[in-house]
Chain A
Amino acid sequence: MSTKVCLWTLDHPNPASLETYVANGGYSALKKILAEKTPAEQIIEQVKISALRGRGGAGFPTGLKWSFMPRSFPGDKYVVCNTDEGEPGTFKDRDIVQFNPHQLIEGMVIAGYTLGARAGYNYIHGEIFELYQSWEQALDEARAAGYLGKNICGSGWDFDIHAHHGYGAYICGEETALLESIEGKKGQPRFKPPFPASFGLYGKPTTINNTETLASIPWIVKHGGQRFLELGKPNNGGTKIFSVSGHVNQPGNYEVPLGTPFAELLEMAGGVRDGHRLKAVIPGGSSAPVLPAEIMMDCTLDFDAIAKAGSMLGSGAVIVMDETVCMVQALERLAYFYFEESCGQCTPCREGTGWMYRVVHRIEHGQGRPEDLDLLMSVGGNISGRTICALGDAAVGPVHSFIKHFRKEFEYHIENKRCMVGD
């Protein structure tokens, strides 16, 4: 059986319990660095060697991000975990919080130690209130056992973690919108620079990482960066949780080494639902460009291979579509999502997402015009790169890629005022 970095507790009874975690070596990495007073530079170096890249979607090297933090800056500094998992297709971080909360706590505490922070916040997606509650219980357990709070493991060092609960806003997954939200404001992204490492939560230096990223840290500290790197492939260290949804027999989370062929993941998920064949895949969450089956079947699952194929590994959310899917209808739903979730701060996104939705909607409902596809490309082109945050580009990704790869279906819809799928 291949190594699992984050979801290994699922192979044990009571996966979420402190007993399970500690009995299998949990919190030993934290105890070791506190006992040996490991220099922060040494930990950051191991994270760099590991080639751990941000698991939330951007794939930014974690070690490099950590090195931006002004560790010796006097005053408060923060570590923030982003569990605002709302990218359609993504449901991995919830499983880490549900089934391996202590590894995430240990990862956040190690991050706090390394980055010189006094407190951490875990921002939890609004719709998973039950996990917000279970996470708070796990924090209480960790405090009672001396792994969190005052005088951690007898070291004399204090660090505490709190949960912050979202309440329904996709945009808060964007790191600066998330910080605004923790400050008790509308979740509208900040203009950058300054970046959070210099001006973050309450204006203090802050490092924000995804849940899966932080949960990987104890493994790296325990086994060394080199071993983590070797779990995956060069520049793409470690395992990655892929959330497989849509038309497969067994939707679910599958943690596999980066670089695993897509065909293998599809097989693990039980294959395309019985009696059907693969049509298209969105490989990295709804913001990632869609890829047709023939391109996808040749891909390995790592940041570089998916980028080369014209999409993004993103959050590792693999949305599988079979031949029954009307691509116009699928795009209409995604376009509606971005329209609904645009925070309204930047005009190109606020107006453009609504415009794109209305055009796709009319094509789907038999009122498309011959010029509509050019119009969609043009509106999208005028959003891209003209907004404060990445939501604008995220909204354009599906529109442009659906038209690029499935143009005939859109043209058929416009011409015949109905769908070519199922004819």
Chain B
Amino acid sequence: MTLLTPESLAQIDREIAKYPAEHKQSAVMAALRIAQTEKGWLSTETIEYVAEYLGMPAIAAYEVATFYNMYELSPCGRHKITVCTNLPCQLQGAGDIAEYLKKKLGIGFGETTPDGRFTLKEGECMGTCGSGPLCLHNNHKMYTRLTPQTVDQLLDGLK
């Protein structure tokens, strides 16, 4: 039995094919992303599995997993909400949106609701400043021009 599903492995294989055959390690960022999407977070076991799959030392994969801040190295909520609070977004009201999210969820940055439904994170620039305040859901879906009303709608839709 493999640790990842055949679907995830097929996705990883597609990434490996982008790089010269002797440089499979180039696919490690994508492979960790795909593994995290399946598992919700990256355990040491998952990281070691990915490293073995790519034929690279586990420590090198661990270095990558700890360097880039969108990887989760401990279990997090089913829905991770990352709010950008950098200056351009802040000028456009990100501070108020962040406070609203904290109050509504009853947690601070880096915390998870007791029911495991939400994790709230503070993010850095997402390169979409013209549409701030904004947040990312589980790293991959962006919600822009947030207001308390659209935040309510977003959270209600995430079960």
Contact status A127-B132, CB under 8 Å? no
Complex Cα gap A166–B142 (Å): 16
CB within 8 Å of B: which A154-208 residues: 162-170, 181-187, 202
CB distance from A55 to the nearest CB of B (A): 14
Q: Which of A130, A168, A320 lies in contact with B70, CB distance below 8 A?
A: A168
- Closest A residue by C-beta to B22: A202
Q: Which of A76, A325, A340 lies in contact with B91, CB distance below 8 A?
A: A325
For B91, the chain A residues whose CB sits under 8 A away are: 245-247, 319-321, 325
For A85, the chain B residues whose CB sits under 8 A away are: 127
Q: C-beta contact mask, B115-159 vs A, less than 8 Å → 1, else 0?
A: 000000001111111111000100111100000000000000000
Q: Which of A89-97, A105-113, A346-354, A370-378 contacts B (4 or more CB under 8 A)?
A: A89-97
For A341, the chain B residues whose CB sits under 8 A away are: 124
Contact status A186-B63, CB under 8 Å? yes
Given contacts A88-B88, A246-B92, A247-B91, contact A164 B127 (CB under 8 A): no
Asked if B20 lies at the interface with its beta carbon under 8 angstroms from chain A, I say: yes
Q: How large is the interface on A (under 10, 10 to 19, 20 to 34, 35 or more residues)?
A: 35 or more
Complex Cα gap A130–B63 (Å): 26
Contact status B129-A183, CB under 8 Å? no
Complex Cα gap A259–B131 (Å): 26
Contact status B28-A130, CB under 8 Å? no
Complex Cα gap A89–B131 (Å): 11
Given contacts A187-B68, A319-B87, contact A166 B29 (CB under 8 A): yes
For B67, the chain A residues whose CB sits under 8 A away are: 169, 186-187, 343
Contact status B20-A202, CB under 8 Å? yes
Q: Which of A76, A127, A186, A246 lies in contact with B88, CB distance below 8 A?
A: A246
Complex Cα gap A62–B154 (Å): 44
Contact status B68-A168, CB under 8 Å? yes
- Closest A residue by C-beta to B56: A184
Complex Cα gap A184–B140 (Å): 20
Asked if B26 lies at the interface with its beta carbon under 8 angstroms from chain A, I say: yes
Asked if A141 lies at the interface with its beta carbon under 8 angstroms from chain B, I say: no
Complex Cα gap A164–B145 (Å): 27
Q: C-beta contact mask, A235-270 vs B, less than 8 Å → 1, else 0?
A: 000000001111100011100000000000000000
A-B contact pairs, 26 of them (CB 8 A): A86-B125, A88-B129, A90-B129, A93-B127, A121-B18, A127-B142, A129-B140, A129-B141, A163-B18, A164-B30, A167-B71, A168-B68, A168-B71, A168-B124, A184-B27, A185-B25, A186-B67, A245-B130, A251-B129, A251-B130, A251-B131, A286-B86, A319-B88, A333-B87, A334-B87, A343-B67
Q: Which residues of A contact B (CB under 8 A)?
A: 76, 85-91, 93-94, 121, 125-130, 162-170, 181-187, 202, 243-247, 251-253, 286, 317, 319-321, 325, 330, 333-334, 337, 340-341, 343
